[in-house]
Structure 1
Amino acid sequence: MRVITLQVNGLEQAVSKGLYTWLASADADVVAIQNIRAKEYQLSDAAVYPPGYNAYFFDADADDYSGVAILTREVPKAIMTGLSFLQCDLQGRYIQADFPHVSVGSIMFPPVDAFNSLEDKLAFQKQFLDHLQKNRRKRREFIICGNFEAAHKTIDLSNWQANQNTPGFLPEERAWFDQIFGPAGYTDAFREANFGENQFTWWPDAENARRNQNGWRKDYQICSPGVRQFVVDARIETSSLKFGDHAAVMVEYEFDDE
Protein backbone atom coordinates (compact mmCIF):
# COMPACT_ATOMS: atom_id res chain seq x y z
CA MET A 1 0.00 0.00 0.00
CA ARG A 2 1.49 3.31 -1.09
CA VAL A 3 0.22 6.25 0.99
CA ILE A 4 0.79 9.93 0.20
CA THR A 5 0.02 12.88 2.44
CA LEU A 6 -0.01 16.41 1.04
CA GLN A 7 -1.20 19.79 2.26
CA VAL A 8 -2.35 22.02 -0.58
CA ASN A 9 -3.26 25.70 -0.49
CA GLY A 10 -6.80 25.04 -1.67
CA LEU A 11 -7.84 21.95 -3.59
CA GLU A 12 -9.35 23.80 -6.56
CA GLN A 13 -6.16 25.65 -7.43
CA ALA A 14 -4.08 22.51 -6.91
CA VAL A 15 -6.26 20.54 -9.33
CA SER A 16 -6.04 23.34 -11.88
CA LYS A 17 -2.23 23.05 -11.67
CA GLY A 18 -2.30 19.32 -12.36
CA LEU A 19 -2.57 17.68 -8.93
CA TYR A 20 -4.55 14.69 -10.15
CA THR A 21 -2.26 14.14 -13.12
CA TRP A 22 0.68 14.15 -10.71
CA LEU A 23 -1.09 11.67 -8.41
CA ALA A 24 -1.72 9.32 -11.32
CA SER A 25 2.02 9.19 -11.98
CA ALA A 26 2.75 8.72 -8.25
CA ASP A 27 0.50 5.62 -8.26
CA ALA A 28 -0.63 5.89 -4.63
CA ASP A 29 -3.32 3.66 -3.16
CA VAL A 30 -4.44 6.23 -0.58
CA VAL A 31 -3.91 10.00 -0.64
CA ALA A 32 -4.49 12.17 2.43
CA ILE A 33 -5.05 15.83 1.51
CA GLN A 34 -5.29 18.80 3.85
CA ASN A 35 -6.29 22.46 3.58
CA ILE A 36 -9.07 22.07 1.02
CA ARG A 37 -10.21 25.66 1.68
CA ALA A 38 -13.70 25.03 0.34
CA LYS A 39 -16.79 23.05 1.17
CA GLU A 40 -17.38 20.02 -0.99
CA TYR A 41 -20.43 21.53 -2.71
CA GLN A 42 -18.32 24.56 -3.72
CA LEU A 43 -15.78 22.43 -5.59
CA SER A 44 -15.90 21.74 -9.31
CA ASP A 45 -16.58 18.24 -10.63
CA ALA A 46 -12.93 18.08 -11.68
CA ALA A 47 -11.91 18.43 -8.01
CA VAL A 48 -14.60 16.15 -6.54
CA TYR A 49 -14.10 13.27 -8.98
CA PRO A 50 -10.37 12.48 -9.35
CA PRO A 51 -9.73 9.88 -12.06
CA GLY A 52 -9.10 6.45 -10.58
CA TYR A 53 -10.02 7.41 -7.02
CA ASN A 54 -12.98 7.56 -4.67
CA ALA A 55 -12.90 10.95 -2.93
CA TYR A 56 -14.28 11.75 0.53
CA PHE A 57 -14.34 15.18 2.18
CA PHE A 58 -14.78 16.74 5.61
CA ASP A 59 -15.54 20.45 5.50
CA ALA A 60 -14.72 23.18 7.96
CA ASP A 61 -17.60 25.23 9.30
CA ALA A 62 -15.97 28.48 8.12
CA ASP A 63 -15.65 29.28 4.42
CA ASP A 64 -12.20 29.21 2.76
CA TYR A 65 -10.54 27.57 5.77
CA SER A 66 -9.05 24.18 6.56
CA GLY A 67 -10.93 21.05 5.45
CA VAL A 68 -9.50 17.62 4.71
CA ALA A 69 -10.01 14.85 2.18
CA ILE A 70 -8.97 11.28 1.55
CA LEU A 71 -8.71 9.64 -1.87
CA THR A 72 -8.78 5.84 -2.13
CA ARG A 73 -8.45 3.42 -5.03
CA GLU A 74 -10.22 0.68 -3.08
CA VAL A 75 -13.69 1.49 -1.76
CA PRO A 76 -13.30 1.61 2.03
CA LYS A 77 -15.45 -0.33 4.45
CA ALA A 78 -16.36 2.91 6.21
CA ILE A 79 -15.55 6.63 6.37
CA MET A 80 -15.30 8.42 9.72
CA THR A 81 -15.19 12.20 10.10
CA GLY A 82 -14.14 14.23 13.12
CA LEU A 83 -12.66 13.26 16.47
CA SER A 84 -15.59 14.25 18.70
CA PHE A 85 -14.14 17.49 20.00
CA LEU A 86 -15.31 20.87 18.73
CA GLN A 87 -12.01 22.38 17.65
CA CYS A 88 -11.38 19.46 15.31
CA ASP A 89 -14.90 18.93 14.06
CA LEU A 90 -15.95 22.55 13.45
CA GLN A 91 -12.68 23.24 11.64
CA GLY A 92 -12.84 20.12 9.46
CA ARG A 93 -9.54 18.64 10.59
CA TYR A 94 -9.87 14.83 10.45
CA ILE A 95 -11.23 12.18 8.11
CA GLN A 96 -10.54 8.42 8.20
CA ALA A 97 -11.01 5.56 5.72
CA ASP A 98 -11.34 2.05 7.17
CA PHE A 99 -10.03 -0.93 5.22
CA PRO A 100 -10.00 -4.60 6.27
CA HIS A 101 -6.44 -4.53 7.61
CA VAL A 102 -5.87 -0.88 8.52
CA SER A 103 -7.50 2.54 8.93
CA VAL A 104 -5.89 5.55 7.23
CA GLY A 105 -6.57 9.05 8.51
CA SER A 106 -5.95 12.54 7.10
CA ILE A 107 -5.36 15.21 9.74
CA MET A 108 -4.54 18.91 9.72
CA PHE A 109 -3.37 20.36 13.01
CA PRO A 110 -4.22 23.99 13.73
CA PRO A 111 -1.54 26.62 13.25
CA VAL A 112 -1.34 29.63 15.51
CA ASP A 113 -3.49 32.01 13.48
CA ALA A 114 -6.60 34.20 13.60
CA PHE A 115 -8.73 31.15 14.52
CA ASN A 116 -6.42 29.38 16.98
CA SER A 117 -4.09 30.57 19.74
CA LEU A 118 -1.06 28.65 20.97
CA GLU A 119 -3.21 27.39 23.84
CA ASP A 120 -5.78 26.13 21.32
CA LYS A 121 -3.07 24.30 19.40
CA LEU A 122 -1.68 22.65 22.54
CA ALA A 123 -5.21 21.64 23.57
CA PHE A 124 -5.71 20.04 20.16
CA GLN A 125 -2.49 18.09 20.60
CA LYS A 126 -3.62 16.80 23.98
CA GLN A 127 -7.03 15.70 22.72
CA PHE A 128 -5.46 14.00 19.71
CA LEU A 129 -3.05 12.11 21.98
CA ASP A 130 -6.06 10.96 24.02
CA HIS A 131 -7.62 9.72 20.77
CA LEU A 132 -4.48 7.80 19.81
CA GLN A 133 -4.41 6.11 23.20
CA LYS A 134 -8.05 5.05 22.80
CA ASN A 135 -7.24 3.65 19.36
CA ARG A 136 -4.76 1.26 20.92
CA ARG A 137 -7.69 -0.51 22.60
CA LYS A 138 -9.31 -1.23 19.23
CA ARG A 139 -8.69 -4.42 17.29
CA ARG A 140 -7.28 -2.73 14.21
CA GLU A 141 -4.19 -0.88 13.02
CA PHE A 142 -3.84 2.78 12.05
CA ILE A 143 -1.86 5.04 9.73
CA ILE A 144 -2.53 8.72 10.39
CA CYS A 145 -1.15 11.24 7.92
CA GLY A 146 -1.00 14.98 7.69
CA ASN A 147 0.44 18.32 8.66
CA PHE A 148 1.20 18.18 12.39
CA GLU A 149 2.32 21.85 12.44
CA ALA A 150 5.41 20.88 14.43
CA ALA A 151 8.83 19.26 14.14
CA HIS A 152 9.95 16.56 16.54
CA LYS A 153 13.75 16.40 16.67
CA THR A 154 16.63 18.71 15.84
CA ILE A 155 17.19 16.80 12.59
CA ASP A 156 13.68 17.78 11.53
CA LEU A 157 14.43 21.47 11.00
CA SER A 158 17.49 23.25 9.73
CA ASN A 159 17.87 26.12 12.20
CA TRP A 160 16.68 24.45 15.38
CA GLN A 161 18.83 26.56 17.74
CA ALA A 162 17.01 29.74 16.70
CA ASN A 163 13.55 28.13 16.86
CA GLN A 164 13.44 26.70 20.37
CA ASN A 165 10.92 29.38 21.39
CA THR A 166 8.97 29.21 18.12
CA PRO A 167 5.54 27.52 17.98
CA GLY A 168 6.12 24.25 16.21
CA PHE A 169 9.32 23.46 18.08
CA LEU A 170 8.49 24.40 21.66
CA PRO A 171 9.67 22.04 24.42
CA GLU A 172 6.09 21.01 25.22
CA GLU A 173 5.42 20.19 21.56
CA ARG A 174 8.55 18.06 21.30
CA ALA A 175 7.58 16.32 24.55
CA TRP A 176 4.17 15.62 23.01
CA PHE A 177 5.86 13.81 20.12
CA ASP A 178 7.90 11.89 22.67
CA GLN A 179 4.65 10.67 24.20
CA ILE A 180 3.26 9.56 20.81
CA PHE A 181 6.43 7.71 19.82
CA GLY A 182 7.02 6.47 23.36
CA PRO A 183 4.30 5.42 25.82
CA ALA A 184 1.47 5.70 23.25
CA GLY A 185 3.30 3.14 21.11
CA TYR A 186 3.15 4.80 17.68
CA THR A 187 5.96 5.05 15.13
CA ASP A 188 7.19 7.83 12.87
CA ALA A 189 6.78 5.75 9.69
CA PHE A 190 8.98 8.03 7.60
CA ARG A 191 11.96 7.55 9.91
CA GLU A 192 11.54 3.78 9.83
CA ALA A 193 12.81 3.82 6.24
CA ASN A 194 14.51 7.19 5.72
CA PHE A 195 17.25 8.41 8.04
CA GLY A 196 18.54 11.18 5.80
CA GLU A 197 19.26 14.76 6.82
CA ASN A 198 17.58 17.77 5.19
CA GLN A 199 14.32 15.86 4.85
CA PHE A 200 11.96 18.81 5.00
CA THR A 201 8.35 19.31 3.93
CA TRP A 202 7.79 23.03 4.58
CA TRP A 203 9.88 26.17 4.17
CA PRO A 204 9.07 29.58 5.71
CA ASP A 205 10.41 31.51 2.73
CA ALA A 206 9.32 29.47 -0.29
CA GLU A 207 11.86 29.35 -3.13
CA ASN A 208 14.81 31.05 -1.42
CA ALA A 209 14.49 28.87 1.67
CA ARG A 210 14.27 25.67 -0.38
CA ARG A 211 17.53 26.50 -2.12
CA ASN A 212 19.14 27.14 1.28
CA GLN A 213 17.55 24.08 2.92
CA ASN A 214 15.97 26.33 5.56
CA GLY A 215 13.11 23.93 6.18
CA TRP A 216 11.01 21.97 8.64
CA ARG A 217 9.57 18.45 8.56
CA LYS A 218 6.01 19.20 9.65
CA ASP A 219 4.22 16.49 7.64
CA TYR A 220 4.12 12.98 9.09
CA GLN A 221 2.73 9.51 8.72
CA ILE A 222 2.44 7.84 12.10
CA CYS A 223 1.48 4.20 12.47
CA SER A 224 0.35 1.85 15.22
CA PRO A 225 2.66 -0.97 16.39
CA GLY A 226 1.31 -3.67 14.09
CA VAL A 227 2.09 -1.58 10.99
CA ARG A 228 5.71 -0.70 11.81
CA GLN A 229 7.19 -3.93 10.42
CA PHE A 230 5.56 -3.34 7.03
CA VAL A 231 7.20 0.04 6.28
CA VAL A 232 9.60 -0.57 3.37
CA ASP A 233 10.24 2.84 1.80
CA ALA A 234 9.71 6.54 2.52
CA ARG A 235 10.55 9.72 0.67
CA ILE A 236 9.58 13.35 0.28
CA GLU A 237 8.31 14.41 -3.14
CA THR A 238 9.36 18.02 -3.69
CA SER A 239 7.82 17.93 -7.18
CA SER A 240 4.48 18.44 -5.39
CA LEU A 241 5.43 21.95 -4.21
CA LYS A 242 3.68 23.51 -7.21
CA PHE A 243 0.38 22.63 -5.51
CA GLY A 244 1.09 24.45 -2.21
CA ASP A 245 3.82 25.29 0.27
CA HIS A 246 4.18 21.73 1.63
CA ALA A 247 5.93 18.80 -0.02
CA ALA A 248 4.24 15.41 -0.20
CA VAL A 249 5.37 12.53 2.01
CA MET A 250 5.16 9.09 0.39
CA VAL A 251 5.46 5.89 2.44
CA GLU A 252 5.27 2.34 1.13
CA TYR A 253 3.72 -0.36 3.34
CA GLU A 254 4.11 -3.97 2.22
CA PHE A 255 1.36 -5.86 3.98
CA ASP A 256 1.36 -9.66 3.94
CA ASP A 257 -2.05 -9.90 2.25
CA GLU A 258 -1.18 -7.60 -0.65
Structure 2
Amino acid sequence: MSARAGTVAGMVSGSKNLRIASVNVNGVRAAFRKGMGGWLDARGVDILALQEVRASTEDLEALLGPEWSILHDAATAKGRAGVAIASRDKASIHRVTIGDEEFDSAGRWLEADYEVNGQIVTVVSAYVHSGDDGTPKQVEKYKFLDGMTVRLPEIKAHSSLAVVVGDLNVGHKPLDIKNWKGNVKRAGFLPRERAYFDRFFGEAGATVEGVDGSTGPGLGWVDIGRRSAGEVDGPYTWWSWRGQAFDNDTGWRIDYQMATAALADRVVNYSVDRAASHDERWSDHTPVVVDYSI
Protein backbone atom coordinates (compact mmCIF):
# COMPACT_ATOMS: atom_id res chain seq x y z
CA MET A 1 0.00 0.00 0.00
CA SER A 2 1.24 3.46 -0.79
CA ALA A 3 0.72 6.51 1.38
CA ARG A 4 1.02 10.22 0.70
CA ALA A 5 2.22 11.93 3.86
CA GLY A 6 2.78 15.45 5.11
CA THR A 7 4.83 16.19 8.20
CA VAL A 8 4.22 19.05 10.62
CA ALA A 9 4.99 19.52 14.29
CA GLY A 10 2.69 20.00 17.23
CA MET A 11 0.77 18.60 20.18
CA VAL A 12 -2.89 18.49 21.19
CA SER A 13 -2.91 20.18 24.57
CA GLY A 14 -5.46 21.00 27.22
CA SER A 15 -7.78 18.86 29.30
CA LYS A 16 -7.36 15.25 30.31
CA ASN A 17 -10.24 14.27 28.05
CA LEU A 18 -9.85 14.38 24.28
CA ARG A 19 -13.15 15.17 22.55
CA ILE A 20 -13.43 13.77 19.03
CA ALA A 21 -16.48 14.62 16.92
CA SER A 22 -17.38 13.22 13.52
CA VAL A 23 -20.10 14.22 11.09
CA ASN A 24 -21.02 13.88 7.44
CA VAL A 25 -21.81 17.52 6.73
CA ASN A 26 -23.48 16.92 3.33
CA GLY A 27 -21.60 19.95 2.01
CA VAL A 28 -19.78 22.03 4.61
CA ARG A 29 -20.74 25.42 3.16
CA ALA A 30 -24.44 24.54 3.26
CA ALA A 31 -24.06 23.12 6.77
CA PHE A 32 -22.58 26.38 8.05
CA ARG A 33 -25.34 28.39 6.39
CA LYS A 34 -27.86 26.25 8.29
CA GLY A 35 -26.23 26.56 11.72
CA MET A 36 -23.27 24.20 12.05
CA GLY A 37 -21.08 27.02 13.34
CA GLY A 38 -23.26 27.53 16.40
CA TRP A 39 -23.09 23.83 17.26
CA LEU A 40 -19.31 23.78 16.88
CA ASP A 41 -18.77 26.93 18.95
CA ALA A 42 -20.69 25.41 21.85
CA ARG A 43 -19.36 21.84 21.73
CA GLY A 44 -15.76 22.09 22.96
CA VAL A 45 -14.39 19.77 20.29
CA ASP A 46 -10.64 19.05 20.16
CA ILE A 47 -10.58 17.05 16.92
CA LEU A 48 -13.30 17.38 14.28
CA ALA A 49 -13.61 14.81 11.48
CA LEU A 50 -15.75 15.72 8.48
CA GLN A 51 -17.05 13.71 5.56
CA GLU A 52 -18.69 14.77 2.30
CA VAL A 53 -17.01 18.16 2.59
CA ARG A 54 -17.60 19.11 -1.07
CA ALA A 55 -15.56 22.30 -0.78
CA SER A 56 -12.00 23.59 -1.06
CA THR A 57 -9.39 23.80 1.68
CA GLU A 58 -9.73 27.57 1.46
CA ASP A 59 -13.46 27.26 2.13
CA LEU A 60 -12.75 25.16 5.22
CA GLU A 61 -10.19 27.64 6.50
CA ALA A 62 -12.61 30.54 6.06
CA LEU A 63 -15.49 28.71 7.77
CA LEU A 64 -13.56 27.24 10.71
CA GLY A 65 -11.20 30.12 11.37
CA PRO A 66 -7.49 30.40 12.23
CA GLU A 67 -7.76 28.53 15.54
CA TRP A 68 -8.15 25.24 13.67
CA SER A 69 -5.39 23.29 11.94
CA ILE A 70 -6.95 21.63 8.90
CA LEU A 71 -6.08 18.51 6.93
CA HIS A 72 -8.21 18.01 3.83
CA ASP A 73 -8.32 15.37 1.11
CA ALA A 74 -10.64 16.31 -1.71
CA ALA A 75 -12.26 13.87 -4.10
CA THR A 76 -10.93 13.44 -7.63
CA ALA A 77 -14.25 14.69 -8.99
CA LYS A 78 -14.83 18.29 -7.97
CA GLY A 79 -17.81 18.81 -5.67
CA ARG A 80 -17.98 15.16 -4.60
CA ALA A 81 -17.09 13.41 -1.33
CA GLY A 82 -14.07 14.92 0.47
CA VAL A 83 -12.85 14.21 4.00
CA ALA A 84 -11.15 16.49 6.50
CA ILE A 85 -9.80 16.54 10.04
CA ALA A 86 -9.58 19.82 11.94
CA SER A 87 -7.75 20.05 15.26
CA ARG A 88 -6.80 22.66 17.80
CA ASP A 89 -3.13 21.84 17.17
CA LYS A 90 -1.30 20.24 14.30
CA ALA A 91 -0.91 16.58 13.48
CA SER A 92 2.55 15.03 13.50
CA ILE A 93 1.94 13.17 10.23
CA HIS A 94 -0.96 12.29 7.94
CA ARG A 95 -1.73 9.69 5.27
CA VAL A 96 -4.45 9.63 2.64
CA THR A 97 -4.46 6.40 0.65
CA ILE A 98 -6.07 3.00 1.10
CA GLY A 99 -6.24 -0.11 -1.04
CA ASP A 100 -4.34 -0.97 -4.21
CA GLU A 101 -2.32 1.56 -6.18
CA GLU A 102 -4.93 1.81 -8.94
CA PHE A 103 -7.84 2.29 -6.55
CA ASP A 104 -9.02 5.89 -6.30
CA SER A 105 -9.67 6.54 -2.61
CA ALA A 106 -9.28 10.32 -2.88
CA GLY A 107 -11.70 12.16 -0.66
CA ARG A 108 -12.61 9.09 1.37
CA TRP A 109 -9.78 8.20 3.78
CA LEU A 110 -7.61 10.54 5.85
CA GLU A 111 -5.39 9.43 8.74
CA ALA A 112 -3.66 11.75 11.20
CA ASP A 113 -1.41 11.18 14.20
CA TYR A 114 -1.64 13.47 17.22
CA GLU A 115 0.59 13.63 20.27
CA VAL A 116 -1.66 13.81 23.30
CA ASN A 117 -0.04 13.95 26.74
CA GLY A 118 2.99 12.14 25.41
CA GLN A 119 1.02 9.42 23.58
CA ILE A 120 0.26 9.04 19.88
CA VAL A 121 -3.44 8.96 19.00
CA THR A 122 -4.33 8.10 15.41
CA VAL A 123 -7.60 9.46 14.02
CA VAL A 124 -9.07 8.44 10.66
CA SER A 125 -11.89 10.29 8.90
CA ALA A 126 -13.55 7.79 6.55
CA TYR A 127 -16.35 8.06 4.02
CA VAL A 128 -17.34 4.68 2.59
CA HIS A 129 -19.19 4.61 -0.72
CA SER A 130 -22.98 4.48 -0.50
CA GLY A 131 -23.09 1.74 -3.14
CA ASP A 132 -25.92 0.41 -5.27
CA ASP A 133 -26.36 -3.34 -5.44
CA GLY A 134 -25.58 -4.84 -8.83
CA THR A 135 -23.79 -1.75 -10.15
CA PRO A 136 -20.16 -0.57 -10.46
CA LYS A 137 -20.79 1.63 -7.41
CA GLN A 138 -21.15 -1.49 -5.28
CA VAL A 139 -17.96 -2.94 -6.73
CA GLU A 140 -16.13 0.20 -5.64
CA LYS A 141 -17.66 -0.08 -2.19
CA TYR A 142 -16.40 -3.64 -1.76
CA LYS A 143 -12.93 -2.55 -2.94
CA PHE A 144 -12.95 0.11 -0.23
CA LEU A 145 -14.08 -2.34 2.45
CA ASP A 146 -11.35 -4.73 1.30
CA GLY A 147 -8.87 -1.89 1.68
CA MET A 148 -10.11 -1.24 5.22
CA THR A 149 -9.70 -4.94 6.04
CA VAL A 150 -6.02 -4.69 5.13
CA ARG A 151 -5.38 -1.27 6.63
CA LEU A 152 -7.05 -1.67 10.03
CA PRO A 153 -4.47 -4.15 11.40
CA GLU A 154 -1.68 -1.91 10.10
CA ILE A 155 -3.12 1.08 11.92
CA LYS A 156 -3.43 -0.90 15.15
CA ALA A 157 0.20 -2.03 14.82
CA HIS A 158 1.22 1.58 14.28
CA SER A 159 -0.70 2.96 17.27
CA SER A 160 -2.56 1.11 20.03
CA LEU A 161 -4.65 4.27 20.53
CA ALA A 162 -6.47 4.62 17.22
CA VAL A 163 -10.00 5.40 16.10
CA VAL A 164 -11.71 5.29 12.69
CA VAL A 165 -14.63 7.68 12.56
CA GLY A 166 -17.08 8.69 9.90
CA ASP A 167 -19.90 7.75 7.60
CA LEU A 168 -19.22 4.06 6.93
CA ASN A 169 -22.53 3.62 5.06
CA VAL A 170 -23.34 0.19 6.52
CA GLY A 171 -25.83 -0.63 9.24
CA HIS A 172 -24.15 -3.53 11.01
CA LYS A 173 -27.12 -5.19 12.71
CA PRO A 174 -30.94 -4.99 12.71
CA LEU A 175 -30.74 -2.68 15.74
CA ASP A 176 -28.98 -0.15 13.49
CA ILE A 177 -31.90 0.38 11.08
CA LYS A 178 -35.47 1.22 12.02
CA ASN A 179 -37.07 -0.72 9.14
CA TRP A 180 -34.38 -3.35 8.67
CA LYS A 181 -36.64 -6.06 7.21
CA GLY A 182 -37.40 -3.87 4.21
CA ASN A 183 -33.73 -3.16 3.57
CA VAL A 184 -32.06 -6.57 3.53
CA LYS A 185 -31.56 -6.33 -0.26
CA ARG A 186 -30.56 -2.70 -0.25
CA ALA A 187 -27.03 -1.30 -0.26
CA GLY A 188 -26.13 -0.33 3.28
CA PHE A 189 -27.62 -3.48 4.79
CA LEU A 190 -26.58 -6.23 2.42
CA PRO A 191 -25.36 -9.39 4.19
CA ARG A 192 -22.01 -9.22 2.39
CA GLU A 193 -21.45 -5.64 3.57
CA ARG A 194 -22.43 -6.45 7.12
CA ALA A 195 -20.03 -9.42 7.18
CA TYR A 196 -17.11 -7.00 6.88
CA PHE A 197 -18.28 -5.38 10.11
CA ASP A 198 -18.67 -8.76 11.76
CA ARG A 199 -14.95 -9.19 11.14
CA PHE A 200 -14.00 -5.61 12.03
CA PHE A 201 -15.64 -6.02 15.44
CA GLY A 202 -14.92 -9.74 15.91
CA GLU A 203 -12.47 -11.04 18.48
CA ALA A 204 -8.93 -10.35 17.32
CA GLY A 205 -7.44 -13.42 15.65
CA ALA A 206 -10.52 -15.60 16.08
CA THR A 207 -12.31 -17.08 13.09
CA VAL A 208 -15.48 -15.07 12.61
CA GLU A 209 -18.47 -16.26 10.60
CA GLY A 210 -20.18 -13.36 8.90
CA VAL A 211 -23.90 -12.91 8.52
CA ASP A 212 -23.50 -13.95 4.87
CA GLY A 213 -21.86 -17.25 5.83
CA SER A 214 -18.32 -16.15 4.94
CA THR A 215 -15.48 -16.62 7.43
CA GLY A 216 -12.38 -14.60 8.21
CA PRO A 217 -10.21 -13.42 11.07
CA GLY A 218 -11.64 -10.99 13.59
CA LEU A 219 -9.80 -7.67 13.74
CA GLY A 220 -10.66 -6.73 17.32
CA TRP A 221 -11.91 -3.18 16.84
CA VAL A 222 -14.68 -1.86 19.09
CA ASP A 223 -17.94 -0.23 17.99
CA ILE A 224 -18.06 2.57 20.56
CA GLY A 225 -21.67 3.44 19.75
CA ARG A 226 -22.99 -0.06 20.31
CA ARG A 227 -20.87 -0.66 23.41
CA SER A 228 -22.06 2.62 24.90
CA ALA A 229 -25.75 2.38 23.97
CA GLY A 230 -26.20 -1.32 24.59
CA GLU A 231 -28.58 -3.61 22.71
CA VAL A 232 -31.16 -0.95 21.86
CA ASP A 233 -32.55 0.44 18.63
CA GLY A 234 -30.10 3.00 17.28
CA PRO A 235 -29.30 5.60 18.33
CA TYR A 236 -29.62 6.53 14.68
CA THR A 237 -27.28 8.99 12.99
CA TRP A 238 -28.87 9.49 9.55
CA TRP A 239 -32.43 10.23 8.46
CA SER A 240 -33.74 10.90 4.99
CA TRP A 241 -34.81 14.47 4.28
CA ARG A 242 -37.99 13.02 2.79
CA GLY A 243 -41.31 12.75 4.55
CA GLN A 244 -41.45 12.32 8.32
CA ALA A 245 -38.35 10.14 8.68
CA PHE A 246 -36.70 12.44 11.23
CA ASP A 247 -39.86 13.18 13.21
CA ASN A 248 -40.67 9.45 13.39
CA ASP A 249 -37.03 8.55 14.12
CA THR A 250 -36.98 6.26 11.10
CA GLY A 251 -33.23 6.31 10.76
CA TRP A 252 -30.03 4.38 10.20
CA ARG A 253 -26.96 4.16 12.44
CA ILE A 254 -24.23 4.36 9.81
CA ASP A 255 -21.86 6.89 11.43
CA TYR A 256 -19.30 5.26 13.68
CA GLN A 257 -16.42 5.75 16.02
CA MET A 258 -14.64 2.39 15.93
CA ALA A 259 -11.61 2.21 18.20
CA THR A 260 -8.81 -0.13 19.13
CA ALA A 261 -9.49 -1.99 22.36
CA ALA A 262 -6.92 0.11 24.22
CA LEU A 263 -8.59 3.37 23.21
CA ALA A 264 -12.11 1.98 23.68
CA ASP A 265 -11.28 1.35 27.32
CA ARG A 266 -10.64 5.08 27.71
CA VAL A 267 -14.10 6.23 26.59
CA VAL A 268 -15.64 8.63 29.11
CA ASN A 269 -18.76 9.68 27.18
CA TYR A 270 -20.54 8.90 23.90
CA SER A 271 -23.14 11.21 22.39
CA VAL A 272 -25.26 11.43 19.25
CA ASP A 273 -26.11 15.12 18.87
CA ARG A 274 -29.56 14.74 17.35
CA ALA A 275 -31.21 18.05 16.51
CA ALA A 276 -34.16 19.09 18.64
CA SER A 277 -36.41 19.42 15.58
CA HIS A 278 -36.42 18.91 11.81
CA ASP A 279 -36.03 22.65 11.24
CA GLU A 280 -32.82 22.77 13.29
CA ARG A 281 -30.98 20.15 11.23
CA TRP A 282 -27.97 21.33 9.25
CA SER A 283 -27.19 17.93 7.70
CA ASP A 284 -29.05 14.69 7.05
CA HIS A 285 -26.47 13.13 9.43
CA THR A 286 -25.88 14.09 13.04
CA PRO A 287 -22.55 14.46 14.86
CA VAL A 288 -21.17 11.53 16.86
CA VAL A 289 -19.09 12.85 19.76
CA VAL A 290 -16.87 10.80 22.08
CA ASP A 291 -14.65 11.84 24.99
CA TYR A 292 -11.50 9.79 25.52
CA SER A 293 -9.34 9.98 28.63
CA ILE A 294 -5.74 10.19 27.48
Q: TM-score, normalised by structure 1?
A: 0.89
Q: Tell me which residue corresponds to 2:81.
A: 66
Per-residue deviation, 1:116 = 5.2
Q: Tell me which residue corresponds to 2:38.
A: 21
Per-residue deviation, 1:137 = 2.6
RMSD: 2.1
Q: Tell me which residue corresponds to 2:114.
A: 99
Q: Larger C-alpha radius of gyration, 1 or 2?
A: 2
Residues 2 and 251, structure 1, Cα contact 8 Å, conserved in 2:
yes
Look up the equivalent residue of 1:176 and give its one-letter code.
Y
After superposition, where does 1:26-41 map in structure 2 within 5 Å?
26-41=43-58
After superposition, where does 1:146-225 map in structure 2 within 5 Å?
146-182=166-202, 183-195=218-230, 196-206=232-242, 208-225=244-261
Residues 3 and 28, structure 1, Cα contact 8 Å, conserved in 2:
yes
2:284 matched to 1:245?
yes
Q: Which moved more, 1:129-138 or 1:222-231?
A: 129-138
Distance 1:239 1:207, change over 3 A: farther
Look up the equivalent residue of 1:61 and give its one-letter code.
T
Once the two structures are aligned, what percentage of the paired residues are identical? 29
CA distance in 2, matches of 1:65, 1:242: 21
Look up the equivalent residue of 1:31 and give its one-letter code.
L
Per-residue deviation, 1:175 = 1.0
Residues 2 and 30, structure 1, Cα contact 8 Å, conserved in 2:
yes
Q: Tell me which residue corresponds to 2:129.
A: 110
Per-residue deviation, 1:211 = 1.3
Per-residue deviation, 1:117 = 1.5
List alignment gaps of at least 5 residues for structure 1: none
Q: TM-score, normalised by structure 2?
A: 0.79
CA distance in 1, matches of 2:287, 2:54: 18
CA distance in 2, matches of 1:105, 1:88: 17
CA distance in 2, matches of 1:21, 1:212: 25
CA distance in 2, matches of 1:137, 1:56: 23
Per-residue deviation, 1:6 = 0.4
Secondary structure of 1:243's counterpart equals coil
Residues 39 and 63, structure 1, Cα contact 8 Å, conserved in 2:
no
Distance 1:88 1:232, change over 3 A: farther
Residues 39 and 60, structure 1, Cα contact 8 Å, conserved in 2:
no
CA distance in 2, matches of 1:64, 1:116: 20
Q: Tell me which residue corresponds to 2:266.
A: 230
Per-residue deviation, 1:79 = 2.3
Q: Tell me which residue corresponds to 1:3.
A: 20
Residues 203 and 215, structure 1, Cα contact 8 Å, conserved in 2:
yes
Per-residue deviation, 1:225 = 1.8
User: Number of residues paired by the alignment?
Assistant: 251
